Amino acid sequence: QKEVEQDPGPLSVPEGAIVSLNCTYSNSAFQYFMWYRQYSRKGPELLMYTYSSGNKEDGRFTAQVDKSSKYISLFIRDSQPSDSATYLCAMRGSGNTPLVFGKGTRLSVIA
Amino acid sequence: EPEVTQTPSHQVTQMGQEVILRCVPISNHLYFYWYRQILGQKVEFLVSFYNNEISEKSEIFDDQFSVERPDGSNFTLKIRSTKLEDSAMYFCASQGGIATDTQYFGPGTRLTVL
């Protein structure tokens, strides 16, 4: 079983739609959860970071963590064409342990 | 806003040659990382570095790889004898000194081995 599973998509939505991106994981030691956005051939850009179960909101983005189900989500409201990118979930244990990434979901928002 | 920088943005080399990829982490960060991403695949951890020594490394990080922090600002990844399969994007990341901090990534160096 892979440590972090993420549906690679691609996912295509119309502008203004609500987007839901998800990852599941198997390692109970993971405590910190991130969502990164990556444009083609660029570095991952941090979008959301959380370390507790529940929801965290930042503008149009909401990160949700359910540690009991080992499931995390990223919701994008009022999606824009500029949101078109690959979204990577990543997680790690305590301290300075390395990040474990999902494969990324490619999102296209069509105007 | 502080950011991680990497040079060069693209490096082309012949198989068997040595390459050095350079990174300038965010000032005052204490933990440094190298990751790589082969085209179409996941971002994979290579090595972490703290207090001037390797703190963790993956199976990928074999004897042909080395890391160094030669001064107070640069963090380098050396590949001694490149192979075709080393072609990938290489990302440097840095993290602050608090356990709850997260990692910030540089823009990457695209390495092409011919």
Tens-place pLDDT, residues A57-93: 999 999 999 999 999 999 999 999 999 999 999 999 8
Tell me: the pLDDT tens digits for A14-51?
999 999 999 999 999 999 999 999 998 889 999 999 98
- DSSP-based three-state secondary structure for B109: strand
Q: Provide the greatest CA pair distance for chain B.
A: 41
User: Does B105 contact chain A (CB < 8 Å)?
Assistant: yes
The closest CB to that of A98, out of B48, B89, B100, belongs to B48
The rounded distance, in Å, linking the Cα atoms of B34 and A57 is 29
Q: What distance in Å separates the CA atoms of residue B28 and residue B97, rounded to the nearest whole number?
A: 8
Tens digit of pLDDT at every position of chain B (114 positions): 779 999 999 999 999 999 999 999 998 898 999 999 999 899 999 999 998 899 999 999 999 999 999 887 899 999 999 999 999 999 999 998 776 688 999 999 999 999
The answer to whether A3 and B58 are in contact (CB under 8 A) is no
- B6: β partners: B23
B34 shares contact with chain A (CB less than 8 Å):
no
